[in-house]
Structure 1
Amino acid sequence: MAQVADRIAVMYAGKIVETGTRREIFYNPQHPYTKGLLNSVPRLDVDGAELIPIAGTPPDLFSPPVGCPFTARCPYAMEVCDKVYPTATKLSESHGVDCWFQDERAKKLLASR
């Protein structure tokens, strides 16, 4: 994909969770699933590099979750993630992500810790 596509859309459980240019997605991923996906790709440029799998299992799409479908597998999940699907956050003209972690309220909470 990195050599063919100019723009990339990352999907999880039938929903687009992040969109951006090739550079934005590969060098500045913002959704936890995108980050996990990139960490689970084999590195051919590093000897002995280990794959880091994404823990857990995908949701049942016959009974999809109400909130973010990645919540059960997300290391950053907050209570709201399970209850409400996140609103889209526009990070730049070409980069967007659907993740509560990008919400200004979450950023303020993290900054106060």
Structure 2
Amino acid sequence: MTVNSFLNPDWGLGVRDTMSQSLRRLENLTDRHQELDGKMDAEKMRYIFDLPLYNEDGTFKENGGVTKPTNQDVDLTNYQVVTDLKEMNFSIKLPALGENWVTVDLNEMFNK
């Protein structure tokens, strides 16, 4: 899981939130992941990524996710990636373009 914040103390920047709510997004992602602890798979991870951060009125969604709409504050969610090493594929989504998940089979590349 990653966010748009420098969380590693080695950077010397200190943990602080960004205008894009990176720490809230990380907290939402972590909370949703913990709710599915022991049951996580690629499908459930895509579900978590599909949960919006905000309600339609711009308030934070209770039990929200990480995805930001295109018309909200300083930035938006550009892309999301979920990797499934067991099935050897990854899924990518471009929420800013209204795209659905596209899954790429990696077996052809790595099983030759």
TM-score range, shorter chain: under 0.3
Provide TM-score, normalisation by structure 1.
0.24
Higher relative contact order (CA 8 A, sep 6+): 1
Provide TM-score, normalisation by structure 2.
0.24
Higher gyration radius (CA)? 2
